[in-house]
Amino acid sequence: MNRILDFIKNKKNLKIIKNFSALTLIQVLNYLFVLLLIPYVVRIIHANNFGLITYYNEILVYFIILVNFGFEFTATRKISLNIDDKLEIRKIFWETVFVRTTLMFFSFLIFLLIIFYAESISNIGLLIIIFCKIIGLTYLPTWFLTGIEKNNIAAYFVFFSKLSALILILLFVNNEDDFILYALILTIVEIVIGLSLFMYVIYKYDLSVVIKPNLNSLFSIVKENFSIFLNIILNQYVTLNFFLLGFFVSDELLGYYGGAFKIIMPIMIITWFPLNQSIYPLMNRAFDEGLKKGITIFKKMLRPILIFNCLLTLFIYVAAPLLVKIVLGKEFVSSVRILRIFSFLPILVTLTNYLTIQGLYAMKLERLSPYIGFFVGLTCLSLNLIFTPDYGVLSSAYIWVFTQLLAVLITMYVLYKNGLNVLERNKNS
């Protein structure tokens, strides 16, 4: 606790604290928005329409990963290392925008093929509306704001846009047939956030002079980002767990698993995402100055993160019955045991992401990350196929925890082989 207080009091860490607070606020707002809206929307548009919208949004996730293409790490790193060079920042900004725009058009082509050849799509119009979110997400410049450590700006935009969406939905979504309008409002809000924040960044940070990258430069950027992109795709084994479970258990058991999943996922995102994004620029600069300094900062940050997440795991385990009762209701009492298994995930997921992002990525070893992702993903798939048919939802939950622990151990070993011994005590601490 004293270490955490000393960190907060240090004026040098003010930017990190501001960015961490802003990113946490964004995640909390997203969670609260869903929490406040879902009960109303499900009652109005009914579960079948809400389920269809949720399913189409899951399809969109893979296109978002394609458009992001790892820029939230590579572009952020470049900007943080060239923060005082305005010309270089402008060059990085427009190179990233050009590649993301190209990937957006490529996504549209894939999407058109899906529409023409997928016979199982029950509502093409709804899918098109939801897919158009990709426009706003393509131009959302959070990667740039993270690099210059100004994520508090994004927090303001997100707050007002979510509030506007909430008001519009409450005013205009009044019956079952309004499910298309509900999806349209959310899509328009995403586009408005992305484009308005994009224009604000261009105006505020003097980026109006467009620097067109040449073709060789674009190919070089794609090659540089491919390892991180591949690693993110391979690490979708969490979704794979859920998908495979649907083949082997009843809808009722799947509902209990899904209930625990809905509680644990926002907690994990809120604990690891803001932290990693806010300290990533600092860690890049530290490792850029030298391995010794990078390791010192890396370990200094690691200890309070471990302590906090251990306490969080303990809290979730003890409070699982109360959390299930409040969030899901009494009928989901069977989710308690699953949630208690999941309670170990915040520390494991946070540690995996910290070791990968602040370790491998900051040390420019991202080329190694897809191998870890492939091995862990293959292990997860194999264990699910072996155990889930006989042991159901509990085995799936244990497998998720085990594979996450495996990811931690393998990443620690890879870092050790490259000069960063996570277990060795920091001599400067």
346's tokens: 């915040």
pLDDT for residue 422 is more than 80: yes
What pLDDT shows up at residue 417?
A: 92
Decide which of 234, 260, 284 is a domain's last residue: 234
Asked if 281 and 171 sit in the same domain, the reply is no
More confident residue, 265 or 88: 88
Q: How far is CA 273 from CA 224, 280, 366, in A?
A: 22, 11, 18
Asked if 39 and 111 sit in the same domain, the reply is yes
pLDDT tier at 243, thresholds 50, 70, 90? low
Say what percent of the chain tops pLDDT 70.
87
Q: Is residue 6 part of a domain?
A: no
What pLDDT shows up at residue 119?
A: 66
What pLDDT shows up at residue 181?
A: 92
pLDDT tier at 102, thresholds 50, 70, 90? very high
pLDDT for residue 5 is more than 60: no
Asked if 21 and 163 sit in the same domain, the reply is yes
Asked if 267 and 407 sit in the same domain, the reply is yes
Residue 82 burial (10 A CB sphere; 0-12, 13-18, 19+): middle
Counting the structural domains of the chain, the total is 2
Asked if 52 and 93 sit in the same domain, the reply is yes
Q: Is residue 1 part of a domain?
A: no
Decide which of 234, 265, 280 is a domain's last residue: 234
**For the segment 40-51, what is each residue's pLDDT rounded down to a tens digit?**
777 788 767 776
Least confident of 56-65, 202-211, 268-277, 372-381: 268-277
pLDDT tier at 307, thresholds 50, 70, 90? confident
What pLDDT shows up at residue 334?
A: 85
Residues in the chain: 429
Decide which of 177, 205, 234 is a domain's last residue: 234
More confident residue, 254 or 321: 321
Range(s) of the domain holding residue 417 = 240-429
Q: How many CB atoms lie within 10 A of CB 130?
A: 23
Asked if 182 and 253 sit in the same domain, the reply is no
Q: Is residue 105 part of a domain?
A: yes
What pLDDT shows up at residue 354?
A: 92
Q: Is residue 8 part of a domain?
A: no
Residue by residue, DSSP assigns 336-350 as HHHHHHHTTHHHHHH
Asked if 258 and 402 sit in the same domain, the reply is yes
| Selection from 304, 283, 288, 281 nearest residue 429 by Cα | 304
**For the segment 232-242, what is each residue's pLDDT rounded down to a tens digit?**
777 776 666 66
pLDDT tier at 25, thresholds 50, 70, 90? low
3-class DSSP state of 33: helix
pLDDT for residue 34 is more than 70: no
CA 71 to chain centre: 13
Asked if 267 and 200 sit in the same domain, the reply is no
What pLDDT shows up at residue 123?
A: 81
| pLDDT average, residue stretch 317-325 | 90
Asked if 188 and 258 sit in the same domain, the reply is no
Kindly give the residue spans of alpha helices, DSSP state H, lying in 140-236.
142-147, 151-172, 179-204, 215-234
Q: Is residue 5 part of a domain?
A: no
Asked if 170 and 261 sit in the same domain, the reply is no
Q: What is the pTM of this model?
A: 0.74
Asked if 245 and 198 sit in the same domain, the reply is no
